[in-house]
Amino acid sequence: MEIDRFDRKILRELQRDASVGVEDLGARVGLSRNACWRRVRRLEEARIITARVALVDPAALGLEVSVFVAVRTDRHDPDWLDTFTRAVRDMPEIQGVWRTSGELDYLLKVRVASVREYDEFYQRLIRKVEVADISASFVMEEIKDTTELPLDHI
C-alpha cells in the first residue's frame, strides 16, 4: 500500500491520541471528515493500523517495577519453543518478548508491583519452562518509553 503525506499525518496523530474523532482528525491533517474516514478505514483494512488502545499509567495501578529479563536456553527444538511461547503468552506481567541474536536467546519486558512480585513471577516462569540461565535488570529510571513509530522514512 502506498503511504502518502496525509496517511503519515493521520498515523502520527492517531499514535499520539487514538481517541480523536474523525472530524477533529481531518482538521488536524487537512482533510475533510469523509476523506479522513476513508483513509483511516483503508489503513485499518491494510493492517497498518492494527488496533486502537488506551495507554494506562502503570504507576497509577501500583505496577512501578519494570524489569528486563534475559533468557538463555540450551534447547532450540520446536517442542521447547512451543512450551516457552505458551508460557510467556499466558503470563500477564510480560509486556513484550523478543528472540534476539548474540549471547541472549530471548529478552522479556516485565512489569510488576515489587521485587517480591518479580520473584513470584520468576518462580512461576521456571516451573513452566526449562531455561539454562535467567538474569534480570531492574529499571532504575525510565528515560523514554513510547509506542509511537517513526514515520519520516516513509
Task: Flag whether 130 is in a domain.
Answer: yes
Asked whether residue 35 carries a pLDDT value surpassing 90, the answer given is yes
Task: Flag whether 39 is in a domain.
Answer: yes
* Tens digits of residue pLDDT in 5-23: 999 999 999 999 999 999 9
Task: Flag whether 53 is in a domain.
Answer: no
Note whether 124 and 84 are same-domain residues.
yes
Is the overall model pTM greater than 0.75, yes or no? yes
Task: Flag whether 153 is in a domain.
Answer: no
Note whether 77 and 114 are same-domain residues.
yes
Determine the Cα–Cα distance for residues 133 and 74; give it in Å rounded to an integer: 9
DSSP 8-state secondary structure symbol assigned to residue 93? T
Beta-strand (E) ranges in the chain? 65-72, 94-99, 106-112, 133-138
Instruction: State mean pLDDT over 28-54.
Output: 97
* Tens digits of residue pLDDT in 51-106: 999 999 999 999 999 999 999 999 999 999 999 999 999 999 999 999 999 999 99
* Domain housing 130: 58-138
Helix (H), strand (E) counts: the chain: 5, 4
DSSP 8-state secondary structure symbol assigned to residue 47? T
Backbone phi, then psi, for 48, in 5-degree steps? -80, -45
Average pLDDT, the chain: 97
Determine the Cα–Cα distance for residues 154 and 148; give it in Å rounded to an integer: 14
Note whether 37 and 63 are same-domain residues.
no
Note whether 83 and 16 are same-domain residues.
no
pLDDT at 141: 96
Q: How many domains does the chain have?
A: 2
Kind of pairing, strands 94-99 and 133-138? unpaired
CATH code for the domain of 29: 1.10.10.10
